[in-house]
Amino acid sequence: MAETDAESVRTESQTGEDPTDLNREQLGGLVRHTENVLSILRAETEMFEKFCKRLDPKDMAPAPVADAGVSTVDFSQMRSRRRSKSRSILSERLLSLTVEQKCELVQRELEETRHEAERDKENTERILHSYKATIEEAEIRSTEIKKAMYEFQRDIGKAAVSSKKSSGVTAEKVLRYLEEKTRTRDSLVDKLRLKNASLKVQKKKLQLQLKQKEEMGEVLHEVDFQQLKIENAQYLERIDERNQDLLQLKLTTGDTLQVLNSYKKKLQNTTTEKVHLEQEISARNQILQRIESETQLVEQEREKAESLNKKLRKQLGDYRVPQLLEYVQEKIDLDELGKSIPVWERKVDIAELSLKAYRREWEQLKGASCAQMKP
């Protein structure tokens, strides 16, 4: 873009237009355009200077410039001689960078800036960790000082206040207290020294393991970490998909469990109703058996009564006039039989009525059981 703007400025300057022929607005626009182009060129120049400063002297050797149909330009002759406008434009194009070179330069500067930012970030984190460690050390020392002041005040100061008769605290007590504190500090220093030595040994072991891994080529580089990050992201996506599937399956399982519970409840109700109906059917069967047995007894009594009635009717049909004494006796027997006939007829009527009642009750029970058995 800067190259095109520079070319436009050159073309405008080479068109031969006199600036005095332009009005104030056109001159202001031309000045602003020229300032923008100069700012862009200045930024590109600064970036190119930074790039050149980071290059080695070997990389800065001049490369031969060749083009189809154009010979090598002698820059000393270009300074001494006046060339035409076309030759001057050609020399400027040869001295300027191409778009590919500018893109490569910007890419390198971007990578270098990214590395510098990472280095600055590491340095900042290191400084921040050191500050945090300093603050923690200061806090630990402050707590230790407060603790020592409290213990000194507890062991020495209160004893001095309580002993009013004595002139003050003896020097031997203070020295004994200081010696105890010194011994505790020495023991703490010994412990820390042993811990530091063990940490140094562990550090040497880790450095030796790292060196062995570097020699064997097992150390992970940045490319490996990027690959691991990509694989981790892919696995996380798969885990999310599996979690979504698991959630959907859980929802489906919940609906299925609700349906299953409803069917279980229906089955339980049906089973309870079945047990109740079986109990009622067994009770009705017992009633039916009792009614059938009573019906059989009534039938037997009815048959007996009918046979007796037939026998009596037969006797009445075969009747012949007996003698007087026999007539009297027969008359007496007839009266007695005549008296017993209404009783037996009454019994037969009662038996028939009970039979009809039992049959009617049986039909009602039979119809009710059939209606309950229908779905």
Task: Write out 41-107 in H/E/C secondary structure.
Answer: HHHHHHHHHHHHHHCCCCCCCCCCCCECCECCCCHHHHHHCCCCHHHHHHHHHHHCCCHHHHHHHHH
Confidence (pLDDT) at 141: 86
Contact criterion met (CB below 8 Å) for 2 and 37 = yes
Q: What is the pLDDT of residue 333?
A: 85
pLDDT tens digits for range 157-204: 766 666 555 555 567 777 887 888 888 888 888 998 999 999 999 999
pLDDT tens digits, one per residue of 331-361 = 888 888 888 888 888 888 888 888 888 888 8
Q: Tokens 């037939």 identify what position? A: 310
Task: Determine contact, residues 284/326, Cβ cutoff 8 Å.
Answer: no
- Compute the mean pLDDT over every residue in the chain, rounded to the nearest whole number: 77
pLDDT of residue 265: 92
Position 20 scores a pLDDT of 59
Mean pLDDT of the region 270-280: 92
In the prediction, which pLDDT does 56 show?
Answer: 57
B/e letters for 5-22, b = 16+ CB within 10 Å, e = fewer, are bbeebeeeeeeeeeeeee
Alpha-carbon distance 331 to 344, whole Å? 19
Place of tokens 């080695």: 56
At 63 the pLDDT is 46
Q: Tell me, what amino acid is at 203?
A: K
Mean pLDDT of 113-119: 85
Lowest-confidence segment of 133-137, 325-329, 369-373 by average pLDDT: 369-373
Is 33 within 8 Å of 5 (Cβ atoms)? Answer: yes
Task: Please report the pLDDT score of residue 11 as a whole number.
Answer: 47
pLDDT of residue 18: 54
What's the mean pLDDT in 257-276?
A: 92
Report the alpha-carbon distance of residue 248 to residue 260 in Å, rounded. Answer: 18
CB 14 within 8 A of CB 7: no
**C-alpha torsion 135→139→140→146, nearest 10:** 160
Residue 281 pLDDT > 90: yes
User: Are 73 and 94 within 8 A, CB to CB?
Assistant: yes
Determine the distance from the C-alpha atom of residue 322 to the mean position of all C-alpha atoms in its chain, rounded to a whole number: 119
Long-range contacts of 332-339 (CB under 8 A, 24+ apart): 337/312
The structural domains of the chain, with segments of one domain joined by +, span 227-373
Cα–Cα distance, 204 to 190 (Å, whole number): 21
Decide: 52 and 44 in contact? Cβ < 8 Å: no
Over residues 195-217, mean pLDDT: 84
Q: Average the pLDDT over each of 7-21, 214-228, 280-294, 337-351 and give the range with the smallest value.
A: 7-21
SS3 250: helix
Average pLDDT over residues 118-140: 90
| Whole-angstrom distance, CA of residue 229 vs CA of residue 236 | 10
pLDDT value of position 206: 87
Are the CB atoms for 2 and 41 separated by under 8 Å?
A: yes
Percent of the chain with pLDDT over 70: 75
Confidence of residue 19 (pLDDT cuts 50, 70, 90): low
User: According to the model, what pLDDT value does residue 263 have?
Assistant: 92
* pLDDT, position 194: 92
Residue with tokens 């000045």: 31
pLDDT of residue 272: 92
